[in-house]
């Protein structure tokens, strides 16, 4: 199988070049067909590549010394877009020099640059940030929006549902993903006017490759009985941070409990297989790789604190979406709605 190469912003993230190159190398050890355009400071990238001979024949370097700061305001970053490693990685997708871009840098800047360079797909008002979160079942749940759009109307939520379902079909292999809107209750009369209207539109839509199952509350997101959870970026980001914080809390609590006494340490040794499974399941690196869906191109956001495994998973997400043609799937689903159909009646 031949895939377009993936542009990697080698300067982004907490650890920068070392982890980004190591993550790309780890991804390629699992998938030898991966090829990369590594964007960033050439001497530092070459030094990192010395530790990964499997990357030499699969990588090209695009030299760039400027990097977007972690706390830089997106409007400021936009003015320097074509001089930064992040901006040049996205520009490579726009020009066709790469099929997808992966960055662990500033989320707001990445969103702004991606939207300006790649533009939104026809029929999409706003792109959304979609990510996978662990559940009690075999499949992760797709959730969007996670912070790209803090204020959304019914039209936006319907479009998010269409895009999230297309993503879930690729990740889960499920022909008709189960889709629900995040709400404060599951009753039909609960929630804001926007949620009520979005639900009506999704129930009325025909021809979509999804099953709309109404509302879901935040405490049921990770149960495994829903494939796609749709919400505005404000609520989605709060829910995401709460889930991540709870996972860290549980992990730290277990660590403290198992080191509190000699008896506890013995208990840890006995229960270690179960605790290791829990740690693996809650580790965000194993679910890394959020996607800006709705753009004319694939852009994947890696967590800034991701390790090499996390970056490798983000690269694998980008490759999977290229292989299964995410943008074409979304376009086909939008065609089922019609540009002036259900998606266009929310205003």
Task: Give the per-residue pLDDT at 273.
Answer: 59
pLDDT digits (tens, 9 = 90+) for 281-290: 556 666 778 8
| Residue 315 · residue 27 · CB < 8 Å | yes
pLDDT digits (tens, 9 = 90+) for 248-263: 787 777 777 667 666 6
Task: Mark whether 1 and 73 lie in a shared domain.
Answer: yes
Task: Mark whether 250 and 329 lie in a shared domain.
Answer: yes
Task: Mark whether 281 and 220 lie in a shared domain.
Answer: yes
Mean pLDDT of 120-124: 89
- Whether 307 maps to a domain, the answer reads no
Mean pLDDT of 197-215: 90
CB atoms within 10 A of CB 142: 28
- Choose among 6, 5, 36: nearest CA to 299: 6
More confident residue, 280 or 226: 226
pLDDT digits (tens, 9 = 90+) for 95-117: 999 999 999 988 889 999 999 99
Q: Give the whole-number percent of the chain exceeding pLDDT 70.
A: 87
CATH of the domain at 263: 3.40.718.10
pTM of structure:
0.84
Task: Mark whether 2 and 15 lie in a shared domain.
Answer: yes
Confidence tier at 344 by pLDDT (50, 70, 90): very low
**Tally of domains in the chain:** 2
Q: Is the model's pLDDT at 188 over the cut of 90?
A: no
Dihedral sign for Cα atoms in the order 23, 139, 222, 264: negative
Confidence tier at 211 by pLDDT (50, 70, 90): very high
Task: Mark whether 50 and 138 lie in a shared domain.
Answer: no
Which residue range forms the structural domain that includes residue 47?
1-118
Task: Give the per-residue pLDDT at 244.
Answer: 79
Task: Mark whether 11 and 111 lie in a shared domain.
Answer: yes
Task: Give the per-residue pLDDT at 32.
Answer: 83
Task: Give the per-residue pLDDT at 161.
Answer: 94
Query: In the sheet that 228-230 helps form, which strands lie side by side, from edge to edge?
Result: 59-63, 36-40, 6-9, 100-103, 298-301, 290-293, 128-133, 141-144, 228-230, 178-182, 211-216
Task: Mark whether 62 and 184 lie in a shared domain.
Answer: no
Q: Give the CA distances from residue 147 to residues 38, 39, 111, in Å, rounded to whole numbers and listed in that order.
A: 27, 26, 10
Task: Give the per-residue pLDDT at 258.
Answer: 66
Angle of CA points 128, 129, 132, to nearest 5°: 130
Task: Mark whether 264 and 342 lie in a shared domain.
Answer: yes
Collapsing DSSP to helix, strand or coil, 129 comes out as strand
Task: Mark whether 11 and 112 lie in a shared domain.
Answer: yes
Q: Give the CA distances from residue 243 to residues 97, 135, 275, in Å, rounded to whole numbers and listed in that order.
A: 37, 11, 19
Task: Give the per-residue pLDDT at 279.
Answer: 57
Mean pLDDT of 41-65: 91
Task: Give the per-residue pLDDT at 82.
Answer: 87
More confident residue, 124 or 256: 124
Task: Mark whether 162 and 53 lie in a shared domain.
Answer: no
In whole angstroms, how large is the CA radius of gyration of the chain? 21
Confidence tier at 334 by pLDDT (50, 70, 90): confident
- Whether 309 maps to a domain, the answer reads no
Task: Give the per-residue pLDDT at 12.
Answer: 84
Confidence tier at 343 by pLDDT (50, 70, 90): very low
- Whether 250 maps to a domain, the answer reads yes
Task: Give the per-residue pLDDT at 212.
Answer: 93
Task: Mark whether 37 and 109 lie in a shared domain.
Answer: yes
Mean pLDDT of 31-36: 88
């Amino acid at each position: 199988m031949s895939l377009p190469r993936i542009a990697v912003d080698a300067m982004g993230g907490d650890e920068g070049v070392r982890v980004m190159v190591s993550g790309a190398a780890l991804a390629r050890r699992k998938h030898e067909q991966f090829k990369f355009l590594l964007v960033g400071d050439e001497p530092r990238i070459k030094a990192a590549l010395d530790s990964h001979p499997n990357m030499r024949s699969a990588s090209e370097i695009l030299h760039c010394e400027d990097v977007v700061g972690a706390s830089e305001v997106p409007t400021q970053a936009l003015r320097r877009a074509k001089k930064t490693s992040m901006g040049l990685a996205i520009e490579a997708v726009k020009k066709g020099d790469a099929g997808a871009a992966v960055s662990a840098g500033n989320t707001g800047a990445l969103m702004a640059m991606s939207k300006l360079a790649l533009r939104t797909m026809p029929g999409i008002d706003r792109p959304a940030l979609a990510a996978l979160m662990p559940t009690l079942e075999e499949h992760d749940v797709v959730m969007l929006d996670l912070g790209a759009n803090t204020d959304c109307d019914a039209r936006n939520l319907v479009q998010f549902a269409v895009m999230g379902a297309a993503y879930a079909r690729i990740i889960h292999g499920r022909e008709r993903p189960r889709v629900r809107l995040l709400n404060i209750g599951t009753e039909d009369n609960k929630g804001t006017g926007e949620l009520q209207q979005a639900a009506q539109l999704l129930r009325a839509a025909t021809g979509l490759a999804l099953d709309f199952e109404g509302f879901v509350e935040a405490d049921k997101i990770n149960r495994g009985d829903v494939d796609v959870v749709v919400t505005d970026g404000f609520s989605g980001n709060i829910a995401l941070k709460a889930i991540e914080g709870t996972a860290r809390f549980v992990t730290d609590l277990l660590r403290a409990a198992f080191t509190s006494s000699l008896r506890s340490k013995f208990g840890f040794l006995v229960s270690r297989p179960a605790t290791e499974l829990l740690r693996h399941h809650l580790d965000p690196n194993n679910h890394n790789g959020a996607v800006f869906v709705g753009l004319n191109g694939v852009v994947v956001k890696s967590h800034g604190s991701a390790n090499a495994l996390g970056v490798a998973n983000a690269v694998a997400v980008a490759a999977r979406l290229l292989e299964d043609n995410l943008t074409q799937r979304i376009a086909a689903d939008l065609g089922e709605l019609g540009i002036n159909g259900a998606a266009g009646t929310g205003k």
